């Protein structure tokens, strides 16, 4: 590549890529006097960057920029906006190696997976929403002599708050529909992995997105995040993160009567029936340790038909034994380190309490000695709980920790699958189409996969039941959320 869009403002070298540590507001890099430290999970001793720590003033400036830019962006219409968004998509594709290098160091997701899968999805999000928004801006229903015209109006400045896992992809998943719908955006990435979203600002700038349409504000959630979601000029809030934070954001949204969506945690059941291809099921079950289990959609509760318990477990152990803990830049590595020492300790705390309470640690259950005292790897862990009420069954751990339970029949499988307050995803392995159909209807979750995992079309609805979330993203569902729908009724002359 001959040119780099990664210029301007204060830059630090992250894996050979110059990354801005400033905010991006109104088309310009803006620094804060205070900073927060960003370290790499791959080597915690090394500081990657001191990143600008936004405050109320920065939040207000970003919302002002988004308010000012809104009329022009909204007036560009879906075609004009789509042209800019497709240029962003092309730039993402062109800069995958740099994005992957930075996100791998910052978040420790496997670099190969970032290159081949995750970042390409970021580009697809921009392209897909540019296309989808053009498919219809208005729908018409004719009845009783009237044409009921339903129009999408851009809603206004939108705050997008994202978590630390897959920060670039998850941010594009929310920002792309917001922008396509005609809204201006203020993105607040998570403070544990803020850097790849800073590069997204560079790419939007390079693509010619008008100043103030897309803004990135860095900082701590309780500080600048809370200020952003409380600003009464904000017209939509889109959040992905934990249920605890969603409660705070929901209160702020309620105070200003602003619609918000919340994509939250999961505790997905991974149900295996005796008639399934057990080898395929066990392989996929061991794959739930990928990304150190820091995946909201992971099937973390293994529920296996009792008659195949031993056969399944033998296969599961074989596949889990093949995992390689290591540096995420190494293609042989399958299990990356955890994001942060605090998170590692949180995960270890769940396992330690389970052990103390009498749950059986079937395998793992401790930190790996990889990386010495600073190492953030945790061994892939399987726990057989003493009861379905065990904390490790009922709470999201968000680490490489799975639970193992058996069931006698389909009714018990359904009851166990539906027995937590979460409802984000479920995975079912069975050889019977009829059973798959019944399970698909009976299990309460926003997404259910049969004999596969993570396969989905971007136009399908995505979201959670229970404490896994409010609202749906994906396809038209997202475009409707980011729009104010207007019914405009006129006589259509079909009756006199």
Q: Which residues have a catalytic role annotated?
A: 263, 296
List 154, 212, 241, 337, residue binding ligand NAD (CB under 6 A): 241
**Token pair in block for residue 5:** 């869009």
List 82, 157, 225, 375, residue binding ligand NAD (CB under 6 A): 225
End-to-end alpha-carbon separation of the chain, Å? 66
List 221, 326, 380, 399, residue binding ligand NAD (CB under 6 A): 221
* Residue whose CB is less far from ligand NAD, 315 or 426: 426
Name the nearest CA neighbour of 336 among 397, 298, 373, 380: 380
> Is 271 a binder of ligand NAD (CB under 6 A)?
no
List 155, 226, 258, 414, residue binding ligand NAD (CB under 6 A): 226
> Is 396 a binder of ligand NAD (CB under 6 A)?
yes
CB of 90 to ligand NAD, least distance (A): 26
* Residue whose CB is less far from ligand NAD, 19 or 166: 166
User: What mask, x for binding ligand NAD by CB under 6 A, covers residues 147 to 176?
Assistant: --------------xxxxx----x------
Helices and strands (DSSP H and E) totals, the chain? 16, 22
- Supply the angle between the helices 96-107 and 167-180 in degrees, to the nearest 10: 120
3-state secondary structure of 406: strand
> Is 398 a binder of ligand NAD (CB under 6 A)?
yes
Angle at 107 between CA 106 and CA 110, to 5 degrees: 110
* Distance between CA atoms of residues 337 and 38, nearest Å: 15
Listed ranges 38-46, 56-64, 243-251, 304-312: which one lies at the site for ligand NAD (CB under 6 A): 243-251
List 78, 160, 229, 427, residue binding ligand NAD (CB under 6 A): 229
CB of 330 to ligand NAD, least distance (A): 25
- Do 367 and 381 meet the contact criterion of CB atoms below 8 Å apart? no
User: Tokens 């979201």, residue?
Assistant: 463
Angle at 98 between CA 95 and CA 104, to 5 degrees: 130
CB of 463 to ligand NAD, least distance (A): 7
Site residues (CB under 6 A) for ligand NAD, limited to 63-102: none
Angle at 43 between CA 172 and CA 396, to 5 degrees: 55
Bridge partners for 488 per DSSP: 149
List 172, 240, 292, 300, residue binding ligand NAD (CB under 6 A): 240
Please count the residues of this chain forming the interface with ligand NAD, following the rule CB under 6 A. 30
- For residue 475, give Cα distances in angstroms to 30, 136, 198, 424: 34, 12, 26, 18
Listed ranges 197-205, 237-245, 271-279, 371-379: which one lies at the site for ligand NAD (CB under 6 A): 237-245
Name the nearest CA neighbour of 401 among 472, 338, 452: 338
Site residues (CB under 6 A) for ligand NAD, limited to 277-316: 296
User: Tokens 């640690």, residue?
Assistant: 361
Angle at 206 between CA 205 and CA 208, to 5 degrees: 70
- Do 425 and 449 meet the contact criterion of CB atoms below 8 Å apart? yes
> Is 61 a binder of ligand NAD (CB under 6 A)?
no
User: Tokens 């990664």, residue?
Assistant: 6
Listed ranges 142-150, 234-242, 273-281, 476-484: which one lies at the site for ligand NAD (CB under 6 A): 234-242
When CB distances to ligand NAD are compared, the closest residue is 221
* Residue whose CB is less far from ligand NAD, 206 or 231: 231
* Distance between CA atoms of residues 239 and 160, nearest Å: 6
Sheet containing 214-216: order of strands: 28-30, 23-25, 214-216, 185-188, 158-161, 236-240, 260-263, 469-470
CB of 461 to ligand NAD, least distance (A): 12
CB of 312 to ligand NAD, least distance (A): 26
- Do 29 and 20 meet the contact criterion of CB atoms below 8 Å apart? yes
Site residues (CB under 6 A) for ligand NAD, limited to 405-434: 424
> Is 194 a binder of ligand NAD (CB under 6 A)?
no
* Residue whose CB is less far from ligand NAD, 126 or 398: 398
3-state secondary structure of 446: coil
**Token pair in block for residue 157:** 């400045």
Site residues (CB under 6 A) for ligand NAD, limited to 347-386: none
Listed ranges 224-232, 285-293, 330-338, 363-371: which one lies at the site for ligand NAD (CB under 6 A): 224-232
User: Tokens 């928004």, residue?
Assistant: 133
Site residues (CB under 6 A) for ligand NAD, limited to 201-220: none
* Residue whose CB is less far from ligand NAD, 221 or 380: 221
List 190, 272, 393, 401, residue binding ligand NAD (CB under 6 A): 190
Listed ranges 16-24, 66-74, 258-266, 279-287: which one lies at the site for ligand NAD (CB under 6 A): 258-266
Going by the DSSP 8-state scheme, the letter that residue 116 receives in this structure is: I
* Distance between CA atoms of residues 382 and 360, nearest Å: 9
> Is 394 a binder of ligand NAD (CB under 6 A)?
no
CB of 163 to ligand NAD, least distance (A): 3
Q: What per-residue string of b and e applies to 330-345 under the rule 16 or more CB within 10 Å gives b?
A: eeebbbbbbbbeebbe
The residues that touch ligand NAD, with contacts defined as CB under 6 A, are 161-165, 170, 188, 190-191, 221-222, 225-226, 229, 240-242, 245, 248-249, 263-266, 296, 396, 398, 424, 464, 469
């Amino acid at each position: 590549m001959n040119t780099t869009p990664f210029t301007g403002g204060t830059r630090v070298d992250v894996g050979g890529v110059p990354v801005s540590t400033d905010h991006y507001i109104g088309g310009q890099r803006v620094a804060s006097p205070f900073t927060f430290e960003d370290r790499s999970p791959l080597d915690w001793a090394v500081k990657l960057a001191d990143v600008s720590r936004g405050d109320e003033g920065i939040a207000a400036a970003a919302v002002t920029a988004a308010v000012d830019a809104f009329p022009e962006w909204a007036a560009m219409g879906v075609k004009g906006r789509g042209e800019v968004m497709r240029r962003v998509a092309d730039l993402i594709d062109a800069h995958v190696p740099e994005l992957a290098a930075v996100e791998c160091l910052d978040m420790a997701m496997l670099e190969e997976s970032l290159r081949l899968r995750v970042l390409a999805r970021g580009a697809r999000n921009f392209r897909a929403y540019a296309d989808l928004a053009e498919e219809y801006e208005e729908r018409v229903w004719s009845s009783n002599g009237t044409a009921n015209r339903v129009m999408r109006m851009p809603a206004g400045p939108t705050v997008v708050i994202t978590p630390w896992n897959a920060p670039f992809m998850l941010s594009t998943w929310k920002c792309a529909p917001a922008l396509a719908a005609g809204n201006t955006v203020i993105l607040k990435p998570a403070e544990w992995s803020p850097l790849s979203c800073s590069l997204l600002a560079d790419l939007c700038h390079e693509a010619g997105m008008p100043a103030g349409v897309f803004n990135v504000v860095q900082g701590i959630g309780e500080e600048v995040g809370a200020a952003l979601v409380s600003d009464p000029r904000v017209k939509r809030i889109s959040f992905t993160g934990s249920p605890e934070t969603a409660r705070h954001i929901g209160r702020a949204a309620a105070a200003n009567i602003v619609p918000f969506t919340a994509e939250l945690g999961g505790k997905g059941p991974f149900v295996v029936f005796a008639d399934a291809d057990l080898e395929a099921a066990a392989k996929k079950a061991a794959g739930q340790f990928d990304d150190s289990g820091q995946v909201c959609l992971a099937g973390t509760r293994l529920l296996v038909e009792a008659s195949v318990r031993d056969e399944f477990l033998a296969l599961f152990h074989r596949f889990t034994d093949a995992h390689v803990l290591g540096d995420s830049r190494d293609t042989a590595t399958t299990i990356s380190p955890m994001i942060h020492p605090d998170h590692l300790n949180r995960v270890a705390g769940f396992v330690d309490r389970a052990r103390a309470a009498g749950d059986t640690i079937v395998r793992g259950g401790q930190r790996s000695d990889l990386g010495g005292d600073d190492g953030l790897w945790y061994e892939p862990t399987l726990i057989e709980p003493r009861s379905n009420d065990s904390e490790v069954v009922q709470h999201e751990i968000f680490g490489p920790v799975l639970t193992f339970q058996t069931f006698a029949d389909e009714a018990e499988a359904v009851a166990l699958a539906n027995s937590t307050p979460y409802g984000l995803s479920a995975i079912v392995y069975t050889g019977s189409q009829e059973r798959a159909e019944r399970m698909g209807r009976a299990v309460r979750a926003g997404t259910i996969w049969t004999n596969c995992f993570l396969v989905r079309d971007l136009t399908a609805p995505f979201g959670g039941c229970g404490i896994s979330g409010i609202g749906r993203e994906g396809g038209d569902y997202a475009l409707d959320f980011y729009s104010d729908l207007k019914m405009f009724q006129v006589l259509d002359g079909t009756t006199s």
